Amino acid sequence: MNKKFLTSFFTAIILQDMKIKIIVVGKTREKYLQIGEKDFSGRLSNYCQFERIVVKEEKIQASKNEVTIKEQEGKRILDKVANTALMVALDQRGEQLSSEKLAGFIQNEMNKGTKEIDFVIGGALGLGENVMAKASKKMSLSEMTFTHEMVRLILLEQLYRAFAILAGSKYHK
């Protein structure tokens, strides 16, 4: 057997041991984003154990302040984060990583024995301090602002790209 095949084969087995969970606030409303999420969720599942969890969003009302809304959504998020998982909060103030650095981050965590990484994406108002305080890492996808629904699709594509890099796939050029 050729060396490249064996390397890809064993890399795929090792990657399958990793669980990636994305915890989001509220359902994705836009059909085109739903289609993209489904596509990249399926692709990502070829590389790792993947789960997407949606928690209930709070209604934004004048009678509720922003902090209270984010804290209530945050409680729901934290209830879904595994005790043994490394939690990554997506936030505009977080560290920006290239696709290669995201792949390196995932590889480094696997090398340390991390079995699950939970990525959390807040609702329209972002994440509460209760979530931010418990996050092991804070990550930003860009200096630009995206809707929380778009962030889901962008994150899924970048996670798929990161695993494709680790597996030696030609997807990343």
For residue 162, being part of any structural domain is answered with yes
Number of domain units in the chain: 1
Q: Give the separation between CA 116 and CA 137, rounded to whole angstroms.
A: 14
What's the CATH code of the domain at 67?
Answer: 3.40.1280.10
| Of residues 109, 120, 130, 131, the one with CA closest to residue 52 | 120
For residue 12, being part of any structural domain is answered with no
pLDDT score for 4: 52
pLDDT score for 16: 64
For residue 1, being part of any structural domain is answered with no
Give pTM, 2 decimals. Answer: 0.89
C-alpha distance across the termini of the chain, in Å = 26
pLDDT score for 114: 95
For residue 27, being part of any structural domain is answered with yes
Q: Give the separation between CA 54 and CA 51, rounded to whole angstroms.
A: 10
pLDDT score for 14: 52
Render the burial of 126-165: b for 16+ CB within 10 Å, e for the rest.
bbbeebbeebebbbbbeeeeeebbebbbbbbbbbbbbbbb
**For the CA atoms of 165, 168, 169, 170, what is the dihedral angle to 10 degrees?**
90
pLDDT score for 162: 96
| Of residues 120, 125, 172, 119, the one with CA closest to residue 145 | 125
Chain centroid to Cα 85, Å, comes to 12
For residue 5, being part of any structural domain is answered with no
pLDDT score for 1: 53
Q: Going from the first residue of the chain to its last (173 residues), give the mean pLDDT of each consecutive group of 10, the final group possibly shorter.
A: 48 69 96 97 95 95 89 96 95 95 96 96 95 97 93 98 92 80
